[in-house]
Amino acid sequence: MVYQANEHRYGAMTYRRCGVSGLLLPAISLGLWHNFGGVDPFENARAMVRRAFDLGITHFDLANNYGPPPGSAEETFGRIMDEDMAPYRDEMIISSKAGFRMWPGPYGEWGSRKYVLASLDQSLRRMGLEYVDIFYSHRPDPNTPLEETMMALDQAVRQGKALYVGISNYDPDQTAEAIDILAELGTPLLIHQVSYSMFRRLPEEGLFRVLNEEGVGCIAFSPLAQGTLTDKYLEGIPEGSRAAREGTFLRPEQVTEERVTRARRLNEIAQVRGQSLAQMAVAWVLRAPVMTSALVGASRVEQLEENVAALDNTDFSPDEIEAIESALQ
């Protein structure tokens, strides 16, 4: 059956301006880091992309190495684009990244012009696209001049293979330098993608200030702290969960008793707010003035719908903020 998007898809979603640019992003974006690889059921991935778009999510975030195996998430997304989403391409923001190891040898990772531009070409082929909307440097390269990496991003825009550029996992000083270099090149930095959650507050220590002062947008990945800010781990590690599976970034030893105790306290606050812990965690991330979007993952449609429902209550009273800070101690 041919997919037809929900005609009311833009009615409930909130869209936020990305920094001082002309681009609006949905308050919640869909990340394809997990559950879209070659080892995952295609029909489930397809259902999540369709439902996301029907809910007003226009931004789909990928990277060259997402899978497993690396590259397969882009291949899955390319198939979904071809079979379902091609008529809606101009209503979509599709992003990809280069930085982590993608192929063997000296040109398969980090930030050289050789690697960055070759990786983008490969990503476009896998997704069957002429361009991506946002192309990121996925991590800083300690052995390549930052000018070289930023010039590669600038070249991608000038070649028509990307509309905007972003960076991810850069510290405040590296971010400020990247902003200056790109401004001089004439391709301003659009957005910084950073790990941020109630359990990871590092961006508050300088990065947010830089982004705010320079008019750069911000998108948070792992706002649910790899699932530990959901009700999934409140009673331990369930069978089949991310922490129980091999080959994932969340290891069992990260689900500590201390973290579980904090999550239980936070869950009590969420219940008073009429939200699940996951919904409150997403809403909390979005409270930051510099935050453009929260990047959520999902393993099934119901999880995605729960996350989007966080937008029903994104306001926090001073007492709630104080209670959350106390629960995190």
Residue 262 lies in a domain: no
Which tokens hold the place of 184? 């001089």
Full residue range of the structural domain in which residue 122 is found: 15-255+276-316
* Angstrom distances, CA of residue 166 to CA of 75, 171, 259, 275: 22, 13, 31, 32
Structure tokens that stand for 306 in this block: 């729960």
* SS3 of residue 254 by DSSP: helix
- 264 lies in a domain? no
Domain count, the chain: 1
pLDDT at 41: 98
Based on C-alpha coordinates, what's the Rg of the chain? Answer: 19
Structure tokens at 58: 């226009």
The enclosing H or E element of 30 equals strand 28-31
pLDDT of residue 243: 47
* Rounded CA separation 126/71 (Å): 8
* pLDDT of res. 238: 56
Check residue 237 and give its pLDDT.
Answer: 60
- pLDDT given for residue 188 in this prediction: 98
In a domain, 78, yes or no: yes
Token pair 């959650």 is found at: 197
CA dihedral 170, 172, 177, 182 (to 10 degrees): 60
Asked if the structure places residue 37 within a domain, the reply is yes
Residue 290, token pair as written in the block: 């510099």
**What is the reported pLDDT for 235?**
79
Whether 31 is covered by a domain: the verdict is yes
| H helix or E strand, kind and range, residue 132 | strand 132-137
What is the phi/psi pair of residue 185, to 5°?
A: -75, -20
Contact of 174 with 144, CB cutoff 8 Å: no
**CATH number of the domain within which 197 lies:** 3.20.20.100
Show the tokens assigned to 274.
Answer: 């009429």
Q: What is the 3-state secondary structure (H, E, C) of 90-125?
A: HHCEEEEEECCCCCCCCCCCCCCHHHHHHHHHHHHH
Distances (CA, A) of 132 to 78, 146, 161, 163: 12, 22, 6, 7
Q: Is residue 6 part of a domain?
A: no
What is the spatial distance between Cα 283 and Cα 223, in angstroms, rounded to a whole number?
9
Whether omega before 238 lies within 30 degrees of 0, making that bond cis, reads no
Low-confidence stretches of the chain (pLDDT beneath 70):
236-254
Establish if 113 belongs to a structural domain. yes
End-to-end CA distance of the chain: 52
CB contact at 8 A, 298 and 288 = no
Residue 310, in any domain of the structure: yes
CA-CA distance, 268 to 270, in Å (whole number)? Answer: 5
